[in-house]
Each structure stands twice: as structure tokens, then as C-alpha cells.
Structure 1
Amino acid sequence: MTPIEEYGAGTPEVNRPLRADARRNRARVLAAAEAVFAAEGVGASTEAVARRAGVGIGTVFRHFPTKEALLEAVLVERMRALVEHARRAAEDEDAGTALFGFLEHVVEQSATKNAFADALSGAGVDVTEVVGDVRGELLGAVGALVTRARDAGALRGDVGAAEVVAVLVGASHAAMWAPDERTRATAVRVILDGLRKMP
């Protein structure tokens, strides 16, 4: 028996337009899932998400028929938020500050994002396929920040978006291994400083 059948939730609302109230409920569930998983880890229950959202468990399963589907949606939403962050940063007059501020933000978010990805991979989900479209948008937004920073003389001339992403992955892993906040901040700063153009 699927979770939907178990709770009598009916058919999941996928691939068809949602009513306004259904859209609001979906947004509430996603926001609650983001908060619950960030606070308790990806092992937190869907019941905890429903309680946080103030909806019944059937509502959760109507939108997200499995916990993996919920994790997928939260992961995609987190990446969409990064896209929007990068696009807002591109409006900053100081291109160097915009780029490095964004990179630091991504590192701060990386542990939770990686936890989602690991949980999905462990459940047999192809994470690359799940985030394919939004990942392309994110790379494009990062590329725009990189180009602006390089043109402004804030970024090394031999560095492009691919190198920045590779360094970002390394900085994110370094942050995860740091034993305390001071070490984490120093390690990340040292790594990201390697991207800066020398005076």
C-alpha cells in the first residue's frame, strides 16, 4: 500500500494546474519541510513536516506521494533560491563583492544541500536528473557573476565558471570537515582567496 492509499489522500496533484488553495498548501508544506529537515536532518518524518505546516498528513502526500518526492522538491527549491540569489547579486555594483559573497553563501548552504542529495542517492534517485534544469540555470547565473568579476579585475584572468565551481565544491567539503566555526571560516576564506586577482 502506498502512503497515499494508506492515508486515503486520493490522487497526487501532479502534472495538472493547482487551485490557489492547493498552491498555498504546497508552498506551506515545502517551507515546513525546509525548516524541519534543516533543524532535524533529512531523517525527520513527514508527520513532523505536516505538523509544522499545519496541515494533515494526507495533504502532504497529495502533493508529494513519497518522502523522496518531498526531498526532491525541497532540493530543487533550494537550488532555485540560489539562482535568484545569484541574479540579485549580479545587480550589485561591486562585481567582486557580489561574486565572493555569493560563493560564501553557497558554502554555508552546502552541508544541508549535500544531505538532501545523499539521502536521495541512497534511495536510488538520480539526483543529476532531478536537478538538471535548475542546475543549468544556476550555472548560467554563476557564469554571469564570474564574467562580471573577471572584467572588473576582481577575479584571476585564467579562471572561468568551471574553475570557480570546482573551487566551490572543494571549499564546501573543507567546510564540512572543519572542527569548529573559526576553522571553517578561515579554511573557506583561504580557498576562495585563491580565485582573487593578485594586485
Structure 2
Amino acid sequence: MTDGLPHTLRSDARDNRARILDAARAVFGEEGLGAPMREVARQAGVGPATLYRHFPAKRELIAETFAEQRRACHAAVRDALTDTDPWRGFRSLVDRICELHAHSRGFADSFMAAFPEALDFAADRDRTLRAVAELARRAQETGRLRAGFVVDDLILMLMAHRGVQEAPPAARVTASRRFAAYVIEAFRAAPGTEAPAPLPPAPRLQLAHSPGTS
């Protein structure tokens, strides 16, 4: 009887942790890192004490919530750097980072370090930016990435890309892919000297109307 009790408690704790992480992905993913911890607890169906027992600090919850996206970001950087064609690698990195951001506002906030809670992501961001700098150098040597590109342009791109989060959820990835395609053409040296790749499909978006407009 007593032998089964600790196992039951451990199983309950695992279930609670899984529910908390699922809720955090949904809440932070949709609302960003500004969403309160109590909303995560509410959606997880646990009390605040249970939430803080598993994750005493918000940054710990954020780090665990986006661990999978962080691994995907690392893989995108690694694959881009090992591509034998630096320009192709550069393009793939832009595509994949944009798609990661499109899936989650919280991950975008974390990568951009827009909140103090995102400090754990600083090393990831710095690693990515160093990789972009090296990849850009190689791509510029091929003559296919414009000479004026600087790493800060990636941050500028992601700042603009964050607007994709305002699109309806069903359209975000489609919008992100089209956005990335346009940006890549802007980064290309001497655009128009070679046939651009076909654009991804356009998302179905509807602009909000101001009161009194038809």
C-alpha cells in the first residue's frame, strides 16, 4: 500500500507539469510573455501553488515552454552553416526563423528579449546572430547576398515580421512564408539579374474597417 503512494504522487506531479507546459505554450504563444502566470495556472486547471512548485520563476517556465523551439532554432542555424551553398543556407535560415516566430508570439518575444523574463534566451539569440554574421560573410563572398547586409538587418526583419502575429491563426504561417520570400529578394545582390523563385501562396487576410467605412 505504502509502496504505491510515492509512485502515485510522482505520476500526479508529471501530469500537472505536462498540463502546465501545454497551457503555457497556448497562453504565451498567443498572448506573448506579458501574459500573467495566473492565466497559465487557470488554463492548466491547477492552483498557483502547484504552478510555482514546478516553476518557481517565470523565466524557468518560459525556458521549458520553448525548449523545443530553441532546439529547432539551433538546428536551423547548424543546417544553414553546413550547407555547401552559403546563399541557399542563408535563405533557409531566414525561412525557418520566420516560421518559428509565426508559430508562437511567446517565442518571438523570447528571441527578441523584449521582456526581462527572456534573459535565458540571450545566449541563443547571440549564438544565432554570430552564425548569421558568419553565414552572411560567406554568402557575400559568393556575390549573391548584397554587400550592405549587416546582422542588425535580421533584427529589423524580425521586428517587422512580428506583425504577422496579428493575422488570424490559420493564416500566420502562410503570411510568414510570403513575408520571408519578399525579404530574401530584398537581401539578394542585384535583384532582377536572375529569375526569382515563385512566391509562396498569398494568405487570405482582411483588414479591419474603421467605424463608418464600408
Query: Which bracket does the TM-score occupy, shorter chain normalised?
Result: 0.5 to 0.7
2:140–2:146 contact (8 Å) kept in structure 1: yes
1:159 corresponds to: 149
Distance of aligned partners of 1:125 and 1:99 in 2 relative to their CA distance in 1, 3 Å threshold: closer
Q: Report the alpha carbon displacement of residue 92 of structure 1 after superposing the two structures with TM.
A: 1.0
Q: What secondary structure does 1:131 align onto?
A: helix
1:91 corresponds to: 82
Greater shift after overlay, 148-157 or 68-77? Answer: 68-77
1:135 corresponds to: 125
Distance of aligned partners of 1:176 and 1:145 in 2 relative to their CA distance in 1, 3 Å threshold: same
Distance of aligned partners of 1:186 and 1:117 in 2 relative to their CA distance in 1, 3 Å threshold: closer
Partners of 1:79 and 1:61 in 2: how far apart?
Answer: 23
Q: Does 1:173 align with 2:159?
A: no
**Which amino acid in the other structure matches residue 129 of structure 2?**
L
1:174–1:187 contact (8 Å) kept in structure 2: no
**CA deviation map 1:74-120 (0-9, x unaligned):** 3466335413320222111121121111111111111444325659x
Q: Does 1:109 align with 2:95?
A: no
**CA deviation map 1:36-57 (0-9, x unaligned):** 544x33377469779xxxxxx9
CA RMSD of aligned residues (A): 3.9
1:46–1:67 contact (8 Å) kept in structure 2: no
Q: Does 1:187 align with 2:169?
A: no
Partners of 2:76 and 2:175 in 1: how far apart?
Answer: 26
2:136 corresponds to: 146
- Runs of 4+ in structure 1 off by over 6 angstroms are 47-50
2:63 corresponds to: 72
- Which blocks of at least 5 consecutive residues in structure 2 are unaligned? 1-13, 29-34, 194-214
- Which blocks of at least 5 consecutive residues in structure 1 are unaligned? 1-24, 51-56
**Which amino acid in the other structure matches residue 27 of structure 2?**
G
Partners of 2:109 and 2:146 in 1: how far apart?
Answer: 33
Match of 1:41 among 24, 27, 47: 27
**Which amino acid in the other structure matches residue 129 of structure 1?**
L
2:210 corresponds to: none
Distance of aligned partners of 1:167 and 1:66 in 2 relative to their CA distance in 1, 3 Å threshold: closer
Partners of 1:191 and 1:66 in 2: how far apart?
Answer: 37
**Which amino acid in the other structure matches residue 98 of structure 1?**
G
Alignment of 1:22-61 (within 5 A): 33=21, 37-38=24-25, 40-42=26-28, 45=40
2:98–2:177 contact (8 Å) kept in structure 1: no
Greater shift after overlay, 103-112 or 40-49? Answer: 40-49
Q: TM-score, normalised by structure 2?
A: 0.56
Larger Rg: 2
**Which amino acid in the other structure matches residue 160 of structure 1?**
V
Q: TM-score, normalised by structure 1?
A: 0.59
**Which amino acid in the other structure matches residue 169 of structure 1?**
M
Q: How many residue pairs get matched?
A: 161
Distance of aligned partners of 1:166 and 1:91 in 2 relative to their CA distance in 1, 3 Å threshold: same
Q: Report the alpha carbon displacement of residue 190 of structure 1 after superposing the two structures with TM.
A: 1.5
